[in-house]
Chain A
Amino acid sequence: MAQEITKLPTRDFARGQAAHSTRATNVYRPNSDIYEDENHIVLVTDMPGVAPGDVDVTLEQRVLTIRGRLGVERPEGYRAIYSEYGEGNYERAFTLSEDIDQDHIEANHKDGVLTLKLPKAERAKTKKIQVKTA
C-alpha cells in the first residue's frame, strides 16, 4: 500500500487554465499506477518531457519522493495559439506501508515513464504459515 501525501494540482486540474500558463516553474502531480505482488511494490509514473537524467527519487524512512525536471523547450520562432496541457516539473510523494530493501531498488525511465521496482524488506514479506493437522 502507499498513502498519498502530495497536495499539488493534477494535470487535469491545470488543463482548464492552461491557455497562458506554460511557464516551466509550474509543478504538477504526475499520474501514477501502483501495484504490488508478493515480493515487490511497483510504481509507474508518467512524466512526459523529463529526460532520464532529470529524475530524482528519494526514499527516506517510508516516504518515497519523486521529482522530475522538465527538459522540453518551446519550439523556436513559434507562439502558442492553443493549449490543453500545462508544462512544468513534476513532484509527488507517497508514504509506503511496508519496509523496503533500499539496496535493491530498480529504477528505469523510458519514453517519459518512470518505473520503480521496490523490493519488500525480508520481514515485511507475507509469511506462509503451515497449518498442521493433528
Chain B
Amino acid sequence: MLLSSWDRSGWDPFGEMQRLRSEMNQLLNGAGAVSLARAYPPVNIWLGDNSVVVTTELPGLSSEDIDISIAEDTLTVSGNRVFAANDNQVAWRRRERPLGAFSRTIELPFRVDPDHVEAHCTNGVLEVEMHRPQADLPRKIQVKTR
C-alpha cells in the first residue's frame, strides 16, 4: 500500500477518518430513529372484524378543534395546540407540553368507508372508528354441484 509508511509511524489518518465517519453515521442514524418515534400525536391502532379504531391523545383539544379527513386507506388528524399563557407577562419555569399546529397521516390496514365513520373526543383522547366498505367485505361463494 502507498500509505504503509503511516502505519509504521503508528498513526493512520485514513483509518482515523474511517472511524470518524462510522461514528458520524451512527449518530445520524440514531437521530433519524428518534424523530420518527416522536411523530405527533402518538397513535394506537385497534383492529376489529371489519373495522379499525385509531385512538390518539390530544389533551386540551375538544372535538371542534380537531380536523379529521379520510381518503381511501389513510386517516389524517390535524389541529393546533395553543399556548396556555401570554409569553410576555409570565416567567416560565417548566415547559414540556407540545404546542403548535400538527398534522399526522396514518395508514390503515384496509380501505374504509368515509360515510361510515364515528369519531369521539373524551377527556383529551380522540377515538375514530372506521369500517370497511360493504363492497370490500369478503363474500361467500356458493359452490354448485352439477
Query: Chain A: residues with CB nearer than 8 A to chain B?
Result: 1-2, 11-12, 15-16, 22, 31-37, 41-42, 44, 46-52, 71-72, 74-75, 77-85, 87, 110-113, 115
**12 A-B pairs, CB-CB below 8 angstroms?**
A35-B92, A42-B84, A42-B90, A46-B97, A47-B59, A48-B125, A52-B123, A72-B123, A74-B46, A75-B46, A85-B42, A113-B124
Judged by a CB distance under 8 angstroms, whether B38 is at the interface is yes
CA gap between A111 and B49 in the complex, in Å: 30
Closest-CB distance, A95 to chain B (whole angstroms)? 12
- A11 CB contacts on chain B under 8 angstroms: 42
Judged by a CB distance under 8 angstroms, whether B137 is at the interface is no
- A34 CB contacts on chain B under 8 angstroms: 92-94
Contacts A32-B97, A33-B95; is A84 near B42 (CB within 8 Å)? yes
Query: Per a CB cutoff under 8 Å, which of A22, A31, A44, A78 touches B47?
Result: A78
A-B contact count (CB 8 A): 128
How many residues on chain B are close to A (CB under 8 Å)?
40
For residue B87, which residue of chain A has the nearest CB?
Answer: A35
Judged by a CB distance under 8 angstroms, whether B9 is at the interface is no
- A83 CB contacts on chain B under 8 angstroms: 44-45
The answer to whether B127 and A75 have CB atoms under 8 Å apart is: yes
Judged by a CB distance under 8 angstroms, whether B20 is at the interface is no
Contacts A33-B95, A78-B47; is A113 near B60 (CB within 8 Å)? yes
Closest-CB distance, B109 to chain A (whole angstroms)? 7
Contacts A50-B123, A112-B59, A112-B123; is A36 near B93 (CB within 8 Å)? yes
